[in-house]
Structure formats: structure tokens, C-alpha cells
Amino acid sequence: MELIFKQGRPGRKGSSIPDSDVPTKISLPKEILREKKAELPETSELQTIRHFTLLSRQNLGLDNSFYPLGSCTMKYNPKFHEQICIMPEFSGLHPLLPQLRRGGALTQGSLSVIYETERMLSEILGFSQFTMQPLAGAHGELTGVMIIAAYHRHKKNFRKKTMLIPDSAHGTNPASAAMAGFSIKTLKTNENGDMDIDELKKNLDETAAGIMITCPNTLGLFDRNMADACRLVHEAGGLVYCDGANLNALLGKFKPGENGVDVMHINLHKTFSSPHGAGGPGSGPVGVKEELTPFLPISRVEKRDDGTYALEYDFPQSIGYIAPFYGNFAVILRAYAYLLTVGAEGLEKISAFAILNANYIRQKLKDFYPLPFDRICMHECVFSAEKFLQKGIHAANIAKALIDKGCHPPTVCFPLIVKEALMIEPTETETKEELDKFIDAMIEIAKLAEDDPDKIKECPLKTPAARIDETSAARKPVLTCVN
């Protein structure tokens, strides 16, 4: 595909705009203005349209391929919900419009969406209240551990400065805890893929503020020691945080807030169906038990006795602002539409089919890719490509070979506790026929890795760029265009 810079010709234009007949005055400081015109390609409108259309076709995305990216829940996003998001009654609102004064009717609908979504999530997950403010999953993690820190300060538990984190937790958990002022102690996974309870007991001293559990964990397994862990942490005066990024496996089946969890973030953009990837858009609401509600961030939407909704700020023990305005409203709106569409019965089907699909793949591929923990999984399954190392093949090689088969690669080399990990999450939205195509492709690649490994090392062969220097691209990126 030819670069658009090579297609351009001096003087060629994509549009014709008449000169302004209105006097203008530039108020920007001269020192921040360009000294010369931007060196952009000069192309026609047709050339530009063709270029970006062809460029978009180079992407492997959910709309054109299977996307089993483990831990990311890349499910299909109903297009109907996108239409709701672009309704001008929602998309045209300015966040500073008045709530209840003159013109307040304009914002009552949006405030009710935030409030009702928060109430539905509280019911689904067994919590007293949610905050819809956090703008991403890791932002929700940070908010959750900040609430735990505020709780301990309020209780004058000043020695509680340590956060316990299993090595099967999501990789952002230690960073979030550290940003909230905690030191980190890592708990090992036992031979069954569960948290090591003896390790937990050993580290539950007077400094332990709590534990951050990912449930299901990054091995795709429901930790069978979770109930004991919650009990032990509570007995030691700590709190239990749950990373809910893998909520797609629990919907309608398990309420963490009624089973020992005090604080939990979830990813609306994953579980409740927003198109995401490349860093956004995101939303990471946080649910808490009753005793932690005073520490929730502001603002909070409350429903008044007269049925109107208003943003409230008077919460003296709040951790304060963690985001501008009212959270990522478009993602909240999609989640609201999604919840109303599927209903309570639909939520149970989502998790049931997500678990069924993951276990179908697990069972079909375990003779070709070893399972570090061979037991029934939840929404995703984690294989190891370690056996192919003797042939010079890594998990990344298998991922690149999958691209030539028309599939987006799964997550590779994560979780770190599995050598050469292949983390596969099919979600509930894929058909059996699509799963079978993926399974056949994985089996073909496994056989090729054994019989002709050099051929695997050449993949991908069907992409515009084959083998880029990934290390240099990350450490020395070229961020300017060269003609």
C-alpha cells in the first residue's frame, strides 16, 4: 500500500473553500504559531477517502475477525447501542448545563442514566453503592485502594501500610496500590492455580491493610480459596479489594459484595459492551459496602424526594475528585442500554456461554498446547507454548502465525507466572463454527511448529509489514513523517 505522502502532488486539493469576508484577528501568541505551513500531502478527496478506507482494512478487529484477546473481553458490541449514544439529546449536552434551575430538564435524563446504572450494578454485584467516576479499569483500581486508604486513616489504623497481592492478579494492581501509598507483598500461587493460603497467613501481620484479588484470576480460574482469604483478611482488620476486569464470567452467578468483598472495580467497556482497544474508551466504576460509602469520590448523583436527580458534593470524608465532570458518560450510556436489552436472564446467559466457549477451546486444544493448570476454567483459558521452545518457537511466533489465518492473536506471555503463556478469551458472542475455525488454525500451527518451525518464524506473510523490530519501535519510535 503506497503512503499518502507519495500520492500527493503540489497544488492538488480535496476541497475548495472561499476566502473569509469577515475580518479576523488572531489572538494567539505569535511564538506558538507555525513559521511555515505544515508539510502535509496534497491529495484529492477521492485519494484521501481511498487511502483511509484501505488503511482501515489493514486492521484486524472484531467486525472482521475472531478476537480472542485474553483478559480484554473483546465481545461484539450491538450497533443499536451506538445509535443510542449518538442521539443528540445525549451527545449534544454540555456537562455544565444546569441541573435543576432554568433549563435543568435538559440534564435530568442523563443524570437518571448515571443513577440507574449505578443502582443496577449495585444489585448485580451485591454492593451498597457505586461511583461511576473512574475513566478506566486501572483508574478504578486506584480509586478502590484510595478508598481503602481513606478508611484506615479514618479508623486511625496508621500502621496498615501493606497491600497483599497474589501473583495471579492483574499486572496493574501493584502499581495502583503503590500510587495510593501502600507497599506491596506478593502472594504465590499454589500447584492448583489458587492463592497459597499458607503464604497469606504468613503475611497477615498488623501492617496488612488488605488484599487485592483478581476473580476469576489471570489463569482464568475461580480461586477456590477466596472465601477463606476474605475471612482471614477481615479477622486481621484488613479489607478485601476485588479486581473485576474478568466479570464476564460471574454475571448473574456470583455477587462479590455478598461474599466477602468490600471494594470492587469493574470494566464497563469490557463486560457491558463498548467498542474498546488502543487505550479507550474506558470506564471503571467502583462498588463498595455500606461502611465505605462515605469515602466515595465526588460528585455523586442522588435522587431527591420529588423524583428529580442532582449532583451532590457535600461528603466530608470523600476522597475527592478523581475525574473531571461525571465519568465517561458515553460508556455508561452504552452499558445502561446493554443492561436494559439483556435483562437479568440475559446476564446469566452471558456468563454461561462465555464459560462454555472457553472450556470448549480448552478441551479441544489441550492435547496440542499444555495446560499449566488442567481444570475447568471460567471465561478464558491459559495454555503454554513452552514445549515448542526446543524448536525455537515462542508464544509470539504462534500469535504471528495466527494473523495469517485471519485471527487476531490471543494475549501472549501473560500471566507472567506461566512461561510462554497463550491466554485465550472467546467471549459469549462467537458461534461454534467460528470457534472451530480458530481451533483448527491453532492445531495446524502446533503441527507446523513441530514439523517445520522455520516456516512459523517467517509469519506473518500476508500483512503489509511482516517482522518489525518491536524493541526498537518501543524504545526509539519514529514519530515524524519522512518524505
Contact between 448 and 457 under an 8 Å Cβ cutoff? The reply is no
- 378 touches 216 (CB < 8 A): yes
Distance (Å, rounded) from C-alpha 132 to C-alpha 14? 43
Contact assessment for residue 42 and residue 10, using Cβ atoms and an 8 Å cutoff: yes
123-137, 151-165, 304-318, 437-451: least confidently modelled range: 304-318
**Bond preceding residue 275 cis, omega within 30 of 0:** no
| Position 61 pLDDT exceeds 90 | no
Residue 205 has pLDDT above 70, yes or no: yes
Q: How confident is the model at residue 104 (pLDDT cuts 50, 70, 90)?
A: low
Report the half-sphere exposure of 193 (CA within 13 A, side-chain side). 24
Bigger pLDDT: 28 or 369? 369
Highest mean pLDDT among 268-277, 389-398, 455-464: 389-398
DSSP state of 240: E
Strand 286-288, strand 263-266: pairing: antiparallel
Identify the pLDDT of residue 381.
98
How many of the other CB atoms lie within 10 Å of CB of 387?
Answer: 15
The percentage of the chain sitting over the pLDDT mark of 90, rounded to a whole number, equals 76
The values of phi and psi at residue 69, to 5°, are -75, 105
> In whole numbers, what is the pLDDT of the chain averaged over residues?
92
From start to end of 215-308, where are the E strands? 239-244, 263-266, 286-288, 300-303
Q: What is the pLDDT of residues 161-190, one digit of tens each?
A: 999 999 999 999 999 999 999 999 999 999
CB atoms within 10 A of CB 224: 13
Under 8 Å between Cβ of 415 and 338: no
The pLDDT of residue 100 is: 63
Higher pLDDT, 371 or 65: 371
At residue 482, does pLDDT exceed 60? no
Mean pLDDT value across residues 469-478? 85
* pLDDT beyond 90 at 150: yes
For residue 35, the model assigns a pLDDT of 86
Q: What is the pLDDT of residues 232-275, one digit of tens each?
A: 999 999 999 999 999 999 999 999 999 999 999 999 999 998 88
Of 260-264, 420-424, 475-479, the one with minimum mean pLDDT is 475-479
Rg (CA), the chain: 25
pLDDT higher than 70, residue 279: no
**Domains of the chain, earliest start first:** 84-340 (3.40.640.10), 344-468 (3.90.1150.10)
Q: What angle do CA 387, 60, 80 make, to 5 degrees?
A: 125
pLDDT class of 98 with cuts at 50, 70, 90: confident
Residue whose C-alpha is closest to residue 424's, from 73, 63, 167:
73
**Predicted pLDDT of residue 481:** 57
304 vs 465, which has greater pLDDT? 304
334 — pLDDT class (breaks 50, 70, 90) = very high
